[in-house]
Chains A and B, each alone.
Chain A
Amino acid sequence: MDESLRSLAMLIITGLHLEDVTPEDIDPQAPLFGEGLGLDSIDALELALLVSRKYQVRIGDADTGKKAFASLAALHQFIREQQPSTKA
């Protein structure tokens, strides 16, 4: 797993207090919400906050959130696009 992807996965695991999950357990292409990790709407609000705190990117509305939170890879890509000058 790419180091920046791994650090994003760690942020999700520690920030959302996921139990018994390692970064390797998260399939970068699998949906973050619903099945799999079992994340729900409370997690979505917290995740938006965690991402904005750490990467200084804003997830302003529900549509952006839906796209950005589609999967770990999608979130990684979203952060890269929002901060072109630095590596996510």
Chain B
Amino acid sequence: MPFLAHWAVATPSGDIHATLDALADGSARPGRLVGPLLPLLQRLGGEVCIGKAPDVVLLATAKGDLPLWAEAVLPGGDRHSGSPACLARQLARHFACPAWALGAACASGPVALAEAARLIRAGDARRVLVLGGDRLADFVDEGFAGLKAVDPDRCRPFDAARAGIQLGETAAAVLLDAATGRVQLQGWGQSLDASHLTAPTRDGGGLSAACSQALALGLVALPGLIVAHGTGTRANDDAESLAYARIMGGVPVVGWKGGLGHSLGACGLTEVVLAAECLATGAAAPGTVGYHNLGVPGAIRVLGAGLHVAPGPWLSTNAGFGGMNGVVLLGDRPPRALAAQPAALVTRAEATAKGWEAGGATGSWCIPAAVGILPRPTARQVTGAVDPSWGRMDAPCRLLVALGHLLKPWPSATHIVLLTDSGCLLTDAAFERGRREGVPDFQSFAYTLASTPIGEASIRLGIRGGGQVVLGASDREGRRMAERCIGEGAPAVLLARIETGVEPEVAWIERYERAPAPCP
């Protein structure tokens, strides 16, 4: 069973106790950590492993060490510096075990914890180190400002006067152990909104689906507390309030981003660690710094600044670009046992020099610009209809959506696992160049996440199961990941690898489903 054995955080307020104190007395403020990400992650990881090596390391991150990466993507830059895939390789060397960066934009924390739980439940690992970290840079400051999503004053989750996020840096580490720990990972859930790339579904339907999964797995009707995503944007907090009011009316809600800021892919793991510390020590939960008057449509009970006693289990929720949702339930009981489900590869498609190949059949899309480069299929070539909105999609999004079309149909609860090392390299480079030249292309900012192709595939193909992008993993490790998702009850998994902007480019997709039961 997955236990949270040891944990640690770093925030501008200090370590775990300093951070909880600063949140409780309302003095916590978003800020930056000092220095590069790798040594910080190595230190936090070392603290929680306590001298005994983990079997696997998972890094929850959206952009990795962005100040390094933003230099790396410029002409002449060192492409082996700062990206999530680079960090994964460095962590694998440091901890002497497999390490992957696992992303679901700002829901990376709970999604990495869900994957860690699946590793342990499948018997593939006994000790999984989950790290979370993202560094800020002008790249992301300007991107969010361009989306008009930043409150220049402060972050006020669920408040009537809220006007956006404030970015902040945090990092966190948790050791999940199969046998022992002070808090149990009692449930987890993942879902995709399939509605909009940067805005949540208005009614919070995607998020509430992930919450319901986590509660069902944890065998509880209601949690004692919701540690909400609470970014402080109008759209996010509105949608969250409706999600909670619908399925968990009356459960108290806290949000900590008024004190911590939004730390992108690190925020979820940071919030989980703070919650776990409170649950393990029986301490009261810090309330919502920056909150004064309720200003959301859903009837929820938001707890203001101060300390609040709440019984376990606690539900910690996050949502990210691409409509990716992740939720974990922290408590003192094990999750529901599941009967093992064997998986089978059902069908496969691959992009070729001019088009595609699937099950012996071939088709053409368009002739790419150069040898070793894959086609960038258009809506007309893939669906037979003109769709102007395809124009904004970058190469990895186009290839995933186009290949996905070939593998239809699937259940809407299908889970997407996207393997990549190159991520959105070309889009990152174009956005950073434009920004430095004073003409940032804000439309492409939402595409500067390696997980965005999953969001596009979800929206354009109607997929609502969970999703995760995995950087630094082999094809074999990806296939095992798909099998574990089926083993945990996913009706189908789309597993893809997409490498663009490197030579040669690669794009394939496979559909896995439950294997038919053997004859008695």
Contact = CB atoms under 8 A, between A and B. Distances in A.
Interface in B307-348: none
Contact of B388 (A37, A46, A49, A53): A37
Contacts of B380: 19-20
A30 interface: no
A17 interface: yes
A17 B443 contact: yes
A18 B379 CA distance: 11
A19 B196 CA distance: 19
B441 A16 contact: no
Interface string B132-160: 00000000000000111000000000000
B379 A20 contact: yes
Contacts of B378: 19-20
Contacts of B389: 18-19, 37-40
B386 A42 contact: no
Interface in A32-58: 37-43, 45-46, 49, 53
A18 B387 CA distance: 8
A46 B388 CA distance: 15
Contact of A17 (B147, B148, B392, B442): B392
A42 B388 contact: no
Nearest to A12: B388
Contacts of A40: 196, 389
Contact of B392 (A16, A20, A21): A16
B395 to A, nearest CB: 13
A78 B380 CA distance: 33
A42 B197 contact: yes
B410 interface: no
A52 to B, nearest CB: 12
Given A19-B386, A20-B386, A42 B443 contact: yes
Nearest to B235: A41
A53 B146 CA distance: 14
Contacts of A16: 391-392, 443
A18 B388 contact: yes
Interface string B443-461: 1001000000000000000
Contacts of A42: 147, 197-198, 392, 442-443, 446
A53 to B, nearest CB: 8
B199 interface: yes
Contacts of A18: 388-389, 391
Contacts of B388: 18-21, 37-39
Given A19-B379, A45-B146, A46-B442, A38 B387 contact: yes
A45 B379 contact: no
A46 B445 CA distance: 11
12 contacts: A16-B391, A17-B391, A18-B389, A19-B386, A20-B379, A20-B380, A20-B386, A20-B387, A20-B388, A38-B388, A39-B389, A45-B147
Closest 4 CB pairs of A and B: A19-B391, A17-B391, A18-B388, A46-B443
Interface of B: 146-148, 196-199, 378-380, 386-392, 439, 441-443, 446
Given A19-B389, A42-B392, 7 more contacts: A16-B392, A20-B379, A20-B380, A37-B388, A41-B199, A46-B441, A46-B443
